[in-house]
């Protein structure tokens, strides 16, 4: 029997990982680990996107 693997979670996470400067192998392992736990793998891209947005967001004026 064949197994079909969706590539979208890997591609999305890879794109977000590049924004953070993460190695591609690390991102692929993160997605594979999430998929092995029964999830879709899309959460990795979401987490990486949040991290990238936090790095790009300048601090609010007056925040110390």
As a whole number, mean pLDDT of residues 35-40 equals 93
CA proximity to 27, closest of 9, 51, 4, 40:
9
Structure tokens at 50: 């949040």
Is pLDDT at 28 greater than 90 in this prediction?
A: yes
As a whole number, mean pLDDT of residues 48-61 equals 82
**Looking at residue 4, what is its pLDDT?**
81
Which CB contacts under 8 angstroms, 24+ apart, belong to 18-27? Answer: 19/48, 19/49, 19/52, 20/48, 20/51, 20/52, 20/55, 22/48
Is pLDDT at 21 greater than 90 in this prediction?
A: yes
Which comes out higher in pLDDT, residue 19 or 56?
19
The rounded percent of the chain whose pLDDT value lies above 90 is: 70
């Amino acid at each position: 029997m064949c197994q079909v693997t969706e590539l979208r979670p890997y591609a999305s996470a890879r794109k977000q990982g590049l924004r953070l400067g993460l190695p591609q192998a690390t991102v692929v392992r993160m997605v594979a680990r999430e998929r092995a736990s029964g999830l879709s793998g899309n959460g990795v891209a979401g987490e990486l996107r949040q991290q990238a947005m936090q790095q790009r967001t300048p601090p609010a004026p007056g925040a110390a």
